[in-house]
Every structure is written in structure tokens, then in C-alpha cells.
Amino acid sequence: MLTVKDLHVSYGGIRALKGVSLAVNKGEIVTIIGANGAGKSTLLNTISGFLKPTRGEILYNNEKLAHRPDLIVKTGICHVPEGRLIFANLTVTDNLILGAYLRNDSKAIKEDLEKVFTLFPRLKERELQLAGTLSGGEQQMLAMGRALMTNGELVLMDEPSLGLAPLLVQTVFDIILQIRALGKTILLVEQNAFKALNIADRAYVLEQGRIVKQGPAAEIARDPAVRAAYLGSKSVAMKA
Amino acid sequence: MTQFFQQVINGLSIGSVYALMAVGYSLVYSIMNFSNFAHGGVIMLGAYFGFFSLTLLHLPFLAAFLLASIGTTILAIVVERIAYKPLRERKAPFLYFIISAMGASILLENIVIATIGPTFRTYPEVFARTPISIGPLAIGRLDLLMFVISAVCLTALILFIEKTKMGKAIQAAAYNIKACALMGINTDKVILIVFGLGGFLAGVAGVFFGMKYTVYPQIGNITTKSFIAAVFGGLGSLPGAVLGSVILGILETFVAGYLSSQYRDLIAFVILIGVLIIRPSGIMGKNTEDKA
């Protein structure tokens, strides 16, 4: 579905990605784990068209992606950005309706709105509240719901569990599984490597702008080097 | 008491024209986080467009009015494309936008001085000078028209922002332009529409100022007042810009009426300094961190 080939991206004088290649197949949850500054967000921002690659290409359904964010959304890729970036000055419903900006099928939009409210009952309760008054977890749900309203097939998620209370972190990962069950394909960037590997089918490890490991998520989770670097090998060993 | 109401009416009329200019500032500021100082140049050219439509083309008033506003709509968009778009594409810091805006403003003023000349010009008399009397109150025909047309324009603008899909996109862009693009919204188009709207209202304001006072290349300096009104109301907030403008207009006419017209301009700057010291975000403004 998504193929990234030899992607090089520089910005602000830093070479953030140095030849990244990866693939995401339809229906998969693929996760990219890596430390802060490894280039995870850069990768997603480049796929979404906010950054221009200096080399390499991105194919979506075997076609080259445009270089403009709104056109990329139109082709079916939606992005739940890091820090959520909800529209705090608008109501919950307005936020969700904006997600459907490119769609004109008002009936289908209404149905999708109901689907989002079924997935996130909390949002239904707060439908007319200003988004800025929501809690962090609710804002994350809103950001996900808003992305789903674009009706994109591939959902890019950038650190969805960042800054959430431990109890909510699990909820967010459960929701990601539910979103996959809706028929979506997910590319997940996470610092919480343990949880991400737990729900993902396949994983890539990104270090300093390069993919250093890839494989089935379960296999990556067992890799001693990965465990030492990202999982805190002791706690995992205790669990095992 | 009669004088009091008379001043309120005069203040409302001038304040509503300040509001036309102030919302132009505020719209651009809310989305691009910089003060578009070229707005004054666009207003000035609006005054000239209206003047020449009446004197050279001999158009009827409404047609001249419309032509001037269409002219400034296009002009505002051209300024955006030439002065700001290249900076946007390079993701330049906000300071560069302000410098570019000042450059555009100086350029527009000097183009007019070089081509049309620095002389003051007076609009032909479109309306009779005799005021309309309501009881003891006398309302100038031009003042009344200024108030009515400004109010119509501002109401239309607010309806557009609140009720349409594009209006919601503009509000969303004001909050976060990146997230706006993630919704599939063409942010370049949003910016173009915002400049177009501001430009249209600048044309309306320019014609009114030309008619009320005179036309000259520095008439754009009047936007200092509307800029102050926008800051007073809260930069980036449309209702704030309207409220700030109306209050400023009324205060000005009161000062001119009860104290001395020499203090008229003083009040605007006293307000500006006061607001910056006491409440920099203005009456209804959003948080102004990281903005230039």
C-alpha cells in the first residue's frame, strides 16, 4: 500500500533521514520505534507532504505522492499529528466535521460521525464543548476521530500515547486495534516501544535517520539489542 | 445631552470604518501571526481607485465603490503573492514578514507619489452636505452611509466566518495551520481568501476615508488608528477588532468634542500604551506568545 524508497530528508541544516526504505501492506499495523530525534516524526511529516525529500520517493498504491498536504489527504492518507493539534477554539463536532472537509457526501459523513461517536462515546458526551476544554486523553481521541473523518485508508499516528496517564495509554492502544478492525491500515510511531510492539504486526527500528532493524513485531520485541535500548531489558526479562 | 448623542453617532460612524480596516489586520494576523503593514497602502489605493472611477470614468457612486473594492481585493492578493508567499514557502521567521510588509507599504506609497503625484485631491461631492435631522440630532448623509455599509460588510464577514465551510477552515487555520492542512484543506487558498476579504474591506474603507477627508499618498497612515483598534480589541479576534474600533471611534469624537480636537490623535496612542502595559492581549485577544 505504502512504499518508501531510499528517503533522504534534510531540514534546518540537519540530515534527519538518511536513506529510509519501508513498506506498509493493507490491513497491517506497522510500528516505527526509535529514540527521540531518530527521525520518526520527520518520516511521517514527509509522507504527509510537510517536508520535501532531497532524495528518494514515496509511493502510495504504486503511485507517486503529491507534495502538498491537502492533496495527500485526498489520496487517502490521514495523519494524527504529534501533540494532537486539535482546534481548541472550535467545538468537538466542528473539529470532526472539518476532518470531512474534502467530502461532499453529507449522508456518509453523518454515518461516519456516528461511527466515531460509537468508537469514542466520551466525545459524544462532549459534542458541543469547545475542544480546548477536553482532557488530554479526550483530545487524543478527538485527533484520532478527526483523522478518521477524512475517510483515509492509511492512518499515520505520531506518538498517540505521549503525555497520557498510564491508564489512558492502554485505552489508546486498544482503540488503535479497533481502528484497524474498521478496515484501516496503520503506521504507528511510538516511544512506548513495548506497547507498540505488542499490537503491531511488523516493526522497524529507526536510529539516527536509518532503519537498523526490521521484522515481525514479536521478533523485534525479542531482539536483545532492542530490548536493551528501548524496552529496558530488565523489566522485560522479569516479565518473561 | 443632545451633544452627547450627537458625539456617539459621529463616533459610531468613524469607528465602523476603523473596524473595516481593523478586521483586515486581524484576519491576516490570526492566520499568519504577523501585522500586515501593507494594509495601509491597499486602503490608500482604494481611495485613489474610487476617486478616479468617479472623476475620470464618471461612474455612478455605487459602481465606483464596487470597482475600487474589486481593485483592492486583487491588489491585496498580489501583495500576498509577491511579498509573503515566497517567505511562506521558505518557512521564514515572522520578523521577515514584517520587514517585507513594511517594504510593500513604502513601495505602494512611492509608486503613487511617482505616478499620480503627492498632491491632495478632493472627492467630487456625491452626497448633499445637508444633514438628516432626527429630532434635535443631525446626521451627515455620508456618516450614515458609512455606518450602514460598514455594518452590512462586517455582518456579512462574520456570517461567512461563522456559517460557511470555508469560514470554519479559516477559524481552524487561525488556530493551527498545519492541522488545517491535515484535514485536506488547501491552506494556500485559505490565505488567498483571507487577503482577498481584507482587501475588499480595505477598498470600502479607502473610498469612505477619501470622501470624508481628502486623498493623498500618505492616507494609509490612518491605518495606525485601525491597527491600534485591532490591538485594543485583541489582535487576531474579529469581534475584538470591531469592538476596539467602535470604542476608539467614540472616544476620539468625545475627546475632540469635549476637550479639543488637537487631543484627538493623542487618545489613540494613550490607549495603545495603556493596553500594552495593562493587558497586551487586548479585550478579546488570544495569547500572544511567540508572535511578532
* Residue A108, domain extent: 27-50+68-239
Hey, is the C-beta of B138 within 8 angstroms of any chain A C-beta? no
**Chain B residues touching A153 at Cβ < 8 A:** none
pLDDT of residue B292: 36
Please tell me which of the candidates A85, A87, A150 has its beta carbon nearest to residue B184: A150
Tens digits of residue pLDDT in A192-240: 899 999 999 999 999 999 999 999 999 999 999 889 888 775 544 444 3
Residue A56 within any structural domain of the chain = no
Contact A85 B185 (CB under 8 A): no
Read off the C-alpha cell for B92. Answer: 521564514
Across the range A180-188, mean pLDDT stands at 96
Give CA–CA dist A142/A172, Å, rounded. Answer: 12
CATH number of the domain encompassing residue B41: 1.10.3470.10
Tens digits of residue pLDDT in B211-262: 999 999 999 888 888 889 988 998 888 899 999 999 999 999 999 988 888 8
Which of helix, strand or coil describes residue A156? strand
pLDDT of residue A236: 45
The domain tally of chain B equals 1
Q: Which of B163, B191, B275 is closest to B230 using CA atoms?
A: B275
How many alpha carbons fall within 13 Å on the CB side of residue B180? 24
Question: Are the beta carbons of A96 and A142 closer than 8 angstroms?
Answer: yes
Residue B17 pLDDT class (50, 70, 90 cuts): very high
Chain B residue closest to A94 (CA)?
Answer: B168
Give CA–CA dist A184/B243, Å, rounded. Answer: 48
Residue B286 pLDDT class (50, 70, 90 cuts): low
Residue B128 within any structural domain of the chain = no
Tens digits of residue pLDDT in A108-122: 999 999 999 999 999
Give CA–CA dist B116/B110, Å, rounded. Answer: 10
Hey, is the C-beta of B31 within 8 angstroms of any chain A C-beta? no
Q: Which of A23, A25, A21 is closest to A5 using CA atoms?
A: A21
Residue B284 within any structural domain of the chain = no
Count of C-beta atoms within a 10 Å radius of residue A106: 9
Question: Are the beta carbons of B225 and B19 closer than 8 angstroms?
Answer: no
pLDDT of residue A37: 85
Residue B228 within any structural domain of the chain = yes
Q: Which of A84, A168, A117, A169 is closest to A126 using CA atoms?
A: A117
Question: Are the beta carbons of A157 and A188 closer than 8 angstroms?
Answer: yes
Instruction: Quote the minimal CA–CA distance from B172 to chain A in Å.
Output: 6
Instruction: Quote the minimal CA–CA distance from B105 to chain A in Å.
Output: 30
Residue B265 pLDDT class (50, 70, 90 cuts): confident
Contact B179 A150 (CB under 8 A): no
CATH number of the domain encompassing residue A165: 3.40.50.300
Instruction: Return the number of CB contacts < 8 Å for A and B.
Output: 62
Q: What is the distance, to the nearest Å, from the Cα of residue B195 to the centroid of all Cα atoms in its chain?
A: 12
Which of B164, B170, B183 best tests the A interface by mutation, with the highest count of A CBs <10 A? B183
Across the range B176-190, mean pLDDT stands at 95
pLDDT of residue A173: 95
Contact B179 A86 (CB under 8 A): yes
pLDDT of residue B130: 84
**Chain B residues touching A49 at Cβ < 8 A:** 181
Residue A22 within any structural domain of the chain = no
* Residue B241, domain extent: 2-118+139-278
Contact B182 A88 (CB under 8 A): no
Please tell me which of the candidates A74, A85, A99 has its beta carbon nearest to residue B176: A85
Residue A91 within any structural domain of the chain = yes
pLDDT of residue B78: 98
Chain A residue closest to B175 (CA)?
Answer: A87
Residue B127 within any structural domain of the chain = no
Residue B197 within any structural domain of the chain = yes
Considering chain A, what is the average pLDDT of its residues? 92
Give CA–CA dist A210/A202, Å, rounded. Answer: 17
Residue keyed to cell 470554519: B168
Across the range B7-31, mean pLDDT stands at 92
For the residues of B201-266, what is the DSSP string, one character each? HHHHHHHHHHHHS-B-GGGGGGHHHHHHHHHHH-TT-HHHHHHHHHHHHHHHHHIIIII-GGGHHH
Residue A8 within any structural domain of the chain = no
Hey, is the C-beta of B90 within 8 angstroms of any chain A C-beta? no
At CA A220, angle to CA A214 and CA A225, rounded to 5? Answer: 100
Q: Which of B9, B224, B286 is closest to B137 using CA atoms?
A: B9
Chain A residue closest to B166 (CA)?
Answer: A101
The domain tally of chain A equals 1
